[in-house]
Structure 1
Amino acid sequence: MKDYHINVFYSDDDEGYIADIPDLKFCSAFGETPEVAVREVQIAKSAWLEAAQATGKPIPLPRYRPIIYQAS
């Protein structure tokens, strides 16, 4: 089963990790570790999807967008 892509990065300003789901606008979460940030964004994803269903907002399909690096 496909799922939404999650980005995880360290934020110097927040002094912690941010996880976000690009396909779900404004769906993000904070954690002191990458693992905590991912767990928190899974909770945010559930809330996002529930709110979208309740309000009739369209839910985008998950899209996997890999970044391909090529050696020079």
Structure 2
Amino acid sequence: MARITVEDCQERVDNRFLLVQMAIKRVRQYREGYEALVDTRNKEVVTALREIAAGKIMPEDMSLYTPLPEGQEAPRSEG
């Protein structure tokens, strides 16, 4: 089973405070009825972190975002 870590997410967003804010906002969106952007059977917070690590969720201030290098895949979203 693939594991998601904060370090995986920090490759995209290098500010832990912003990372937490993004995950919390996304969890609230799930509870309002939004659909997940990655296939997963995990809890809401893990799904939010998977989306951030995969580059599906981005901060409003794009200067704080690091895109995936060309040819590199995002962490697998199994589980």
Which has the larger Rg? 1
TM-score, with structure 2 as normaliser: 0.33
Instruction: Say which structure is richer in strand.
Output: 1
With a CA cutoff of 8 Å and minimum separation of 6, indicate the structure with the bigger relative contact order.
Answer: 2
